[in-house]
Amino acid sequence: MSDSIDDFTEDELYASYEAYKTLLDAGLTKEQALERTGITAQIAKDFEDEEQEDEFKDEFKEEWDPEDLKEGFDEDDAGFGSTDDLDDGLDEGFEEGGYDESYD
């Protein structure tokens, strides 16, 4: 192992953290696992926090197939309607005397 944490590459840090978790699973104490892997308690905590954040994000992640979105998409199905419907409704209001000139 390297003499200093600063000498670790990112890949080595990840590998050391994985080794740390394996040692914990094997029954070593945190202190023993940290000593054997050469990482600090703060590095281990940072990796644990990162894993928890990723797990949290994965719980809410929905996966969409872009092809499913393209096939059969209809504006009316999405609740948007068309602008033609809006124009027809406005025209009907004018025809029925719905326009009040007192607001001009």
Q: What are the tens digits of pLDDT across the range 33-75? A: 999 999 999 999 999 999 999 888 877 766 666 666 666 555 5
For residues 40 and 5, the answer to whether their CB atoms sit within 8 Å is yes
Q: How many CB atoms lie within 10 A of CB 61?
A: 8
The full DSSP string for 12-31 is HHHHHHHHHHHHHHTT--HH
pLDDT, tens digit (0-9, with 9 covering 90-100), for 1-37: 445 666 778 899 999 999 999 999 999 999 999 999 9
Number of domains the chain contains: 2
Residue 45 lies in a domain: yes
Same domain? 13 vs 46: yes
Q: How many CB atoms lie within 10 A of CB 75?
A: 10
Residue listed under structure tokens 């326009």: 99
Domain of residue 82 covers: 66-98
Same domain? 49 vs 16: yes
Residue 104 lies in a domain: no
Q: What average pLDDT does the segment 76-100 reach?
A: 54
Q: How many CB atoms lie within 10 A of CB 101?
A: 5
Q: What is the pLDDT of residue 2?
A: 42
Spatial neighbors of 8 by CB under 8 A, at least 6 apart, are 2, 16, 38, 39
Q: Which helix (H) or strand (E) holds 54?
A: helix 41-60
Same domain? 44 vs 73: no
Residue 103 lies in a domain: no
Same domain? 46 vs 89: no
pTM above 0.95, yes or no: no
